[in-house]
A and B are shown apart, each in its own frame.
Chain A
Amino acid sequence: NAGVTQTPKFQVLKTGQSMTLQCAQDMNHNSMYWYRQDPGMGLRLIYYSASEGTTDKGEVPNGYNVSRLNKREFSLRLESAAPSQTSVYFCASMGTPGTEAFFGQGTRLTVV
C-alpha cells in the first residue's frame, strides 16, 4: 500500500530550466492537490484537481502548470524555474469529505 508517491525527492535546477514533479496515488481518490511549503507560510495551495479531467488554481498558481493525466496521476510542471520557486513541494490526495488527505513525502527543490 504505497499511498501517495512523489518523485523526485530532491532536485536542483538552474534558473530558466524546466521540470515536472510526478505524483501518483493508489487509493482511488478523486481529489488531488499540489502544495508548496515555505518557512513561516505553511502550505500554500498551488493547484488542485477535484476529479479526473479537471484542474483549478489555488492560492499561488503563477509559474506552474498541472496535468491530471488520469485518476491516479497529477503532475506539476515548472516551465522556467525561478529562485522564488525554491521550496518543498507536497502532493496530496483525498477521498470523500471528512476523510484525511494523504500526503507524499515531499520534493525539496532548489533553484539556483
Chain B
Amino acid sequence: GEDVEQSLFLSVREGDSSVINCTYTDSSSTYLYWYKQEPGAGLQLLTYIFSNMDMKQDQRLTVLLNKKDKHLSLRIADTQTGDSAIYFCAERKTSYDKVIFGPGTSLSVIP
C-alpha cells in the first residue's frame, strides 16, 4: 500500500519475542489493524487499536501506537512456530471509508 510501510521480513527464535513495525502517513486514520495471513489462506484479524489509545494488550499480543510519529508496532510474546505467517498492518481512513494495507511482514520462527 502506498501509505503504509513495513519491513518485509523478520526472523526470530522460538520462545523469543517478535516485534513487527509499521508506519502510516494519514493522521486522520482512526482505526489501525493487524492481520495475519497463513500460507494459501485469507486474512484473519489479530487485533486493532483506536487512535486515542497508546497501547492494547490481548494475551500474547501487545500493540503500541505512537500517534505523533505515526508508528504502530505488534509484539508477539513467546513466539511459536505456529506464528509463522505474513502480518499486515492496515489503516482505516474513516473520512473515505478506505482500508489501506501495508506490504506485509513475513515472520519466520526458527525452532
- Residues of chain A whose beta carbon lies under 8 Å from any beta carbon of chain B: 31, 33, 35, 40-45, 48, 50, 56, 58-59, 90, 92, 94, 97-98, 100-101, 103-106
Contact = CB atoms under 8 A, between A and B. Distances in A.
B99 A101 contact: yes
Q: Is chain A's binding surface mostly helix, strand, loop or mixed? A: strand
The winner among B1, B92, B96, B97 for most chain A CB atoms within 10 A is B97
A103 B41 CA distance: 10
24 contacts: A31-B97, A33-B99, A40-B8, A42-B6, A42-B102, A42-B103, A43-B101, A44-B1, A45-B98, A45-B99, A48-B98, A48-B99, A50-B97, A56-B98, A90-B42, A92-B43, A92-B99, A94-B99, A97-B30, A97-B31, A98-B50, A101-B43, A101-B90, A105-B41
Interface of B: 1-2, 4, 6, 8, 30-31, 33, 41-45, 48, 50, 88, 90, 92, 94, 96-104
Contacts, number: 65
Contacts of A104: 42
A74 to B, nearest CB: 13
A92 B96 CA distance: 16
A33 B88 CA distance: 16
Contacts of A90: 42-43
A42 B88 contact: yes
